[in-house]
Amino acid sequence: MTAVTHTSQAARQIVLDTETTGLSAENGDRIIEIGCVELIGRRLTSNNLHLYLNPERKSEEEALRVHGISDEFLRDKPKFAEIAAQLLDYLRDAELIIHNAPFDVGFLDKELERIGQTPLASHVADVIDTLAMAKEAYPGKRNSLDALCERLEVDNSGRTLHGALLDAELLADVYINLTRGQEALLIDLGEVGQDAAGNAPRIDLTAFDLPVLRANDEEAARHAAVLVELDQASGGKTLWRKLDPSVT
């Protein structure tokens, strides 16, 4: 077990992953491993949290093939109730980043319910589901963690089995690459001051005369072809089709 001190910072994000005895928290499956990686200002801090847990039950064979963590290894590990306070203190008020968040949150909520604690959402600022983000960014494509690592050029060559801490580290890189375009839109304000609320001053753009460059016929045709491809890949669920069904 690796435990680290809590870092209190603005814009604190925790990339979280779990391994479990099976796929159904409602049917009694339990968490056996929790891996957390801290990001401050989109940078890794090394202030990570890694816990193995005694689930008080055996792992299903299919789950065991995925994570490779034996029942014998977990027998002397702490139960969730013993580490709950440490985990909640580490996660408190952070924004969580989780791949397929409903799965991990569902398991954590069930564990918290067993010890009389409130759901995870009451302890953290927000939960970001990178699977939902990936489906929006890459409709119709495989969006597993391995697929995203390959697509976004994140090295996952060391991932022969699933492991919560390793998967959280990989997901941190995936998230940063997946949202890099958003970061590029931010303006470096340098020494420009902020108001009392910490907001940057508004910039008057009315003085700028920006040219309008319109697409020529060839560019418009290529654009229309891309829209058709996206619409087909999403099964007709693109926003422009919803707004105007006549668009083809």
Q: Cα–Cα distances in Å, from 55 out to 109, 193, 239?
A: 15, 52, 44
Question: Any residues with CB less than 8 A from the CB of 159 and at least 6 apart, and which?
Answer: 146, 149, 166, 167, 170
Q: Which two tokens stand for residue 114?
A: 């067993």
Q: Which two tokens stand for residue 53?
A: 């847990």
DSSP three-state, residue 104: helix
Question: Any residues with CB less than 8 A from the CB of 187 and at least 6 apart, and which?
Answer: 200
User: Residue 39 is inside which H or E element, if any?
Assistant: strand 31-40
Whole-number Å distance between alpha carbons of 171 and 106? 19
Tell me if 223 sits within 8 A of 247, measured CB to CB: no
67 is catalytic: no
**Among the options 50, 67, 123, 162, which is catalytic?**
162
CB-hemisphere CA count at 13 Å for 88?
Answer: 18
Catalytic residues: 162
